[in-house]
Structure 1
Amino acid sequence: MDMNIEEDVIKATLNDLMIDNGGSFTLTKAELAELLFAQVGLNKREAKEMVEAFFEEIRNSLEEGELVKLSGFGNFSVRDKASRPGRNPKTGEMVPIAARRVVTFHASQKFKNAVEGIVDAQPSVSLTA
């Protein structure tokens, strides 16, 4: 199947989801499964299981402290944050903030460019005789 047609259908479906959500965009697991059902041809149960397995694999990798790289999208990693002093904004009282692990996401340059509306420019080659 032509990739541009698939991308156009997915974009149209995502635009419909934005309209249904009043112009804001929140993509749920159920909506991802629906896209897999419509675009890939999986049945609804298989599509739901695939979405769940995808996120479970990411979650498990991060719990193990592994880096998760999604080519063309970005990287998820876990970072340890040290404890630090904080302040209660209401009372001004100093309170300790405990050490914790946080998930960080760094978008790929390709993804950043897409968000900014920059299209991948293919170098043009011209041969002159």
Structure 2
Amino acid sequence: MTKAELVEEVAQVATLTKKHAEVIVDTVFQSIVEALQRGEKIELRGFGSFRLRRRESRKGRNPKTGDRVDVPPKQVPYFKPGKELKDLINKADAEAEALDQAGARPV
């Protein structure tokens, strides 16, 4: 799903104009980014959490020259899905698999 598709979905479900829906989607994304920039953890109950993980410094290679380079430590955003989200995804997968198996049985 693209951002444009998400905006369309929000507009339809909330009976908003696309412009209003886009403002809402942009505000949510911007709020998440700003909270991460402040080092905060974002918890969305039933969905998951966004947080930062620290990547330690390491040795890397310059792809053009092959020379070894030092890659400095950095923070990277990380999303951890919540139990409810995982359960919903796995339930959907299990139901789809059951339908596939039911349709594949010989008569």
TM-score (norm 1): 0.62
- Tell me which protein shows more helix as a share of its residues: 2
Partner of 1:28: 2
Note the C-alpha offset of 1:108.
Answer: 0.7
Tell me which residue corresponds to 2:46.
72
Q: After the TM superposition, which residues 101-116 of structure 1 pair with which residues of structure 2 at under 5 Å, given as runs? A: 101-116=75-90
**Residue identity in the other structure for 2:40:** E
Equivalent residue number for residue 28 of structure 2? 54
Residues 1:117 and 2:105 aligned together? no
Q: Percent identity?
A: 37
Question: How many residues were matched structurally?
Answer: 92
Task: Using structure 2 for the length normalisation, give the TM-score.
Answer: 0.74
Gaps of 5+ in 1: 1-26, 119-129
Structure 2 letter corresponding to 1:35 = E
Deviations 1:2-25 (A, max 9, x none): xxxxxxxxxxxxxxxxxxxxxxxx
For 1:86 and 1:30, locate their aligned partners in 2 and report how far apart those are by CA, in whole Å: 36
Higher relative contact order (CA 8 A, sep 6+): 2
Structure 2's unaligned 5+ residue stretches are 93-107
